[in-house]
Amino acid sequence: MNLLELPVVARTRRNHGLEHATVHVLTQRSPHRHLIGRSTAEGFFIYGELDTEELAEAASEALARLQAGERGLAIHPRCGTNIVVAGVLTGLTSLLAWGGRGRWWFKLPRLILATTAAVVAAQPLGFLVQEHITTSPDLNGVAIRGITRGQFGGTPVHFVQIG
């Protein structure tokens, strides 16, 4: 069994995909809405101003659309995975570009070019990492068990429990 097949990892990946799909549905309805999501093995959190009933409808629609085969909903352009991929790539290319002998002013153009290329490459690579590692669109047999609302500091937060 590989790491991605471990039950806790598989559930988290599945919930991460449903979190993304739910955010897609919500932002299709209200494009200027600012939301943050975070997934766990039990479900996912959505942070931001949002009516619980609206979230329930969006999550149900997202689940139905994923189960109907809309796999692309599990990938989101503002996912933290993309930020991590960009950070890792720019960090590694910085180390490589800065290495070797020579004065810093000779290394600086190489550093700028390498980190810029890393940031450009990070977006498509981030999508691939989401698709193959951090999310799963396979939600057969999955159901939404409930949604609870709370506060985190001054921010409303909902937890969508998945079973």
Say yes or no: 153 and 99 in one domain: no
Say yes or no: 51 and 95 in one domain: no
The Cα-based distances of 162 to 11, 16, 66, 116, 142 in angstroms read 9, 11, 14, 40, 7
The Cα-based distances of 8 to 15, 41, 65, 101, 109 in angstroms read 11, 6, 24, 47, 44
> Which residues, at least 6 apart from 73, have a Cβ–Cβ distance to it below 8 Å?
17, 20, 21, 24, 25, 62, 65, 66, 137
Say yes or no: 119 and 140 in one domain: no
Q: Does position 1 have pLDDT exceeding 80, yes or no?
A: no
Say yes or no: 99 and 29 in one domain: no
Say yes or no: 31 and 111 in one domain: no
Per-residue pLDDT of 40-82, as tens digits, reads 999 999 999 999 999 999 999 999 999 999 999 999 999 999 9
Per-residue pLDDT of 2-43, as tens digits, reads 999 999 999 999 999 999 999 999 999 999 999 999 999 999
Q: Which domain holds residue 122?
A: 88-130
Say yes or no: 111 and 139 in one domain: no
- Which domain CATH number covers 8? 3.30.980
Q: How many domains does the chain have?
A: 2
Say yes or no: 10 and 63 in one domain: yes
In a domain, 67, yes or no: yes
Say yes or no: 71 and 139 in one domain: yes
Say yes or no: 40 and 98 in one domain: no
pLDDT at 81: 97
Say yes or no: 52 and 106 in one domain: no
Say yes or no: 43 and 123 in one domain: no
Say yes or no: 100 and 145 in one domain: no
What's the rounded Cα separation, in Å, for the pair 137 and 132?
10
